[in-house]
Amino acid sequence: MKNRVRKPALADVEEVIVPAAELARTCALMRAHGERGYELLVLWLGNVDGRTATVVHAVAPPQEGVRSEDGVGYFVSGETMFELNRLLSETGLRLIAQVHSHPDEAYHSAADDRLAVVTTDGGFSLVTPEFATGEPFGGWAMYRLVRGRWREVSPAEIVRMLRVVAG
Ligand SMILES: [Zn+2]
């Protein structure tokens, strides 16, 4: 048996620290794509220490915006997922949350559940309404993967769990 140090579990996290600059970058990228009518997926990578997760980088992976009569969405290729996993293992960063924009209301669609990039128990998925044109977290929806199922987090809990810090 390999002797490995157990990574702190995402499922133990009770607070997510988000630097204001990474939050601003997330929203700016989403607004830019929204102006062209496309949703955007942004990944929050960072560190987990005990009950606190700290976002270090907000990155938009290469993706295909999808705009059809059935609505809009995004598609991330297997190759991109491979590159992401390589980046995570090289840097030791963790995928803490995926954040994506919707044209109007924020919610997790059936496709969002099925195609989620976050697959680790305790990971987060946030959805921004109106292509992130409003105030951060206003009308946002947050979900958490609990034993393989996406559970919605209440607005009060969103406020309690997400802490925006300078930087
Ligand atoms: Zn969606």
Q: Which two tokens stand for residue 124?
A: 């987060």
Whole-prediction pTM value? 0.92
CA 69 to chain centre: 26
Q: What is the mean pLDDT of residues 125-149?
A: 95
81-105 b/e (C-beta count within 10 Å ≥ 16 → b): eeebeebeeeeebbbbbbbbbbeee
| Mean pLDDT to the nearest integer, 27-33 | 96
Q: How far is the CA of 66 from the centre of ligand 1 (A)?
A: 11
pLDDT given at position 120: 94
pLDDT at 128 over 80: yes
Pairing of strands 15-19, 162-165: parallel
Q: Does the pLDDT of residue 115 top 60, yes or no?
A: yes
pLDDT in tens, 65-114: 777 656 677 888 899 999 999 999 999 999 999 999 999 999 999 889 98
Domains of the chain, earliest start first: 10-165 (3.40.140.10)
For residue 41, the CA-to-ligand 1 centroid distance in Å is 9
Please give the pLDDT value at position 87: 94
Q: Which residue matches tokens 């409003």?
A: 134
Joined tokens for residue 82: 């491979």
Gap from CA of 4 to ligand 1 centroid (Å)? 36
Backbone dihedral angles phi then psi of residue 32, each to the nearest 5 degrees: -60, -40
pLDDT at 46 over 90: yes
Note the pLDDT of residue 2: 56
Predicted confidence at residue 147, as pLDDT, reads 94
98 CA from centroid of ligand 1 (Å): 11
1 CA to middle of ligand 1, Å?
A: 41
Q: How high is the pLDDT of residue 76?
A: 87
Distance 65 CA to ligand 1 centre (A): 12
Region label for 35, one of left (φ > 0), alpha (ψ between -120 and 50) or beta (otherwise): alpha
Look at residue 17 and tell me whether its pLDDT is greater than 60: yes
CA of 2 to the centre of ligand 1 (A): 39
Whether the per-residue pLDDT at 8 is higher than 90: the answer is no
Q: What is the C-alpha separation between 131 and 103, in angstroms, rounded?
A: 5
Share of the chain above pLDDT 90, in %: 79
pLDDT, averaged across the chain: 92
